[in-house]
């Protein structure tokens, strides 16, 4: 068996890249350190920094509400996070409500399709939720948005009594993006297991491993102080 790359290996790589000052420059002119084609076992909930459980809970509720307006994340409590405000149009609308993308009939209720596929073909390779779409090329910047969906697709596999998933991402910010996306994908895995067991009452299934594949995994210059 090939020993998988783990979060600790990714962390060490970024620390070394910063030490050697191997930077790229993003569209804003800021420095970044990055990995192209990153693939690793997501065995920790954070690469750098500490996850905000309060925000993770708010984002999960917002995702499952299927609202596409970022002002619904906190409601009247406070403003939406700056990253979401950057992605939204002037009305607060975005494309990347992940709950909408996997639960809604508009996008073919992919969550249900995956559970049904796993139930009928537990050894198969077709149980996939597609997050991105060709039309994103005309939708990412409509009415002032800047939201080209970051997750491409997530595939699920039942092996040895466990549900494993492979997350395939276009782009992922290490500090905020990874922590929150990791939390979301773990919760979706739990939901799939629960629904699967409801439909297959004589089966056993546990949440297994989460594999992370990212075309561009990066740390922004403003977060270099966390790379240690």
DSSP 142: G
- Nearest alpha carbon to residue 63 among 54, 73, 71, 51: 73
Beta-carbon contacts of 90 under 8 Å, excluding residues fewer than 6 positions away, are 143, 144
Cβ–Cβ < 8 Å for 147, 95:
yes
Cβ–Cβ < 8 Å for 189, 210:
yes
The three-state secondary structure class of 87 is helix
List, by residue number, the catalytic residues: 150
Neighbours of 102 (CB within 10 A): 24
Cβ–Cβ < 8 Å for 6, 39:
no
DSSP 194: H
Distance in angstroms (rounded) separating the CA atoms of residues 109 and 106? 7
Distance in angstroms (rounded) separating the CA atoms of residues 200 and 150? 33
- Nearest alpha carbon to residue 178 among 117, 111, 223: 223
């Amino acid at each position: 068996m090939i020993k998988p790359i783990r979060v600790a290996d990714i962390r060490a790589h970024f620390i070394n890249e910063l030490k050697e000052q191997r930077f790229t420059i993003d569209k804003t002119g800021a420095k970044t350190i990055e990995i192209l084609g990153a693939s690793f076992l997501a065995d920790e909930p954070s690469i750098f920094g500490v996850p905000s459980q309060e925000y993770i809970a708010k984002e999960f509720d917002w995702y499952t509400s299927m609202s596409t307006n970022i002002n619904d994340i906190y409601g009247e409590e406070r403003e939406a996070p700056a990253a979401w405000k950057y992605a939204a149009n002037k009305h607060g609308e975005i494309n990347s409500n992940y709950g909408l993308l996997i639960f809604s009939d508009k996008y073919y209720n992919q969550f249900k399709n995956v559970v049904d596929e796993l139930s009928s073909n537990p050894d198969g390779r077709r149980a996939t939720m597609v997050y991105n779409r060709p039309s994103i090329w005309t939708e990412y910047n409509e009415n002032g948005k800047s939201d080209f969906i970051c997750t491409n697709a997530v595939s699920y596999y039942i092996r040895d009594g466990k549900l494993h998933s492979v997350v395939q991402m276009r782009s992922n910010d290490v500090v905020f993006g990874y922590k929150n996306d990791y939390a979301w994908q773990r919760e979706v895995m739990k939901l799939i297991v629960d629904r699967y067991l409801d439909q297959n009452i004589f089966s056993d299934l546990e949440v297994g491993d989460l594999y992370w594949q990212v075309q561009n995994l990066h740390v922004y210059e403003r977060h270099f102080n966390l790379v240690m």
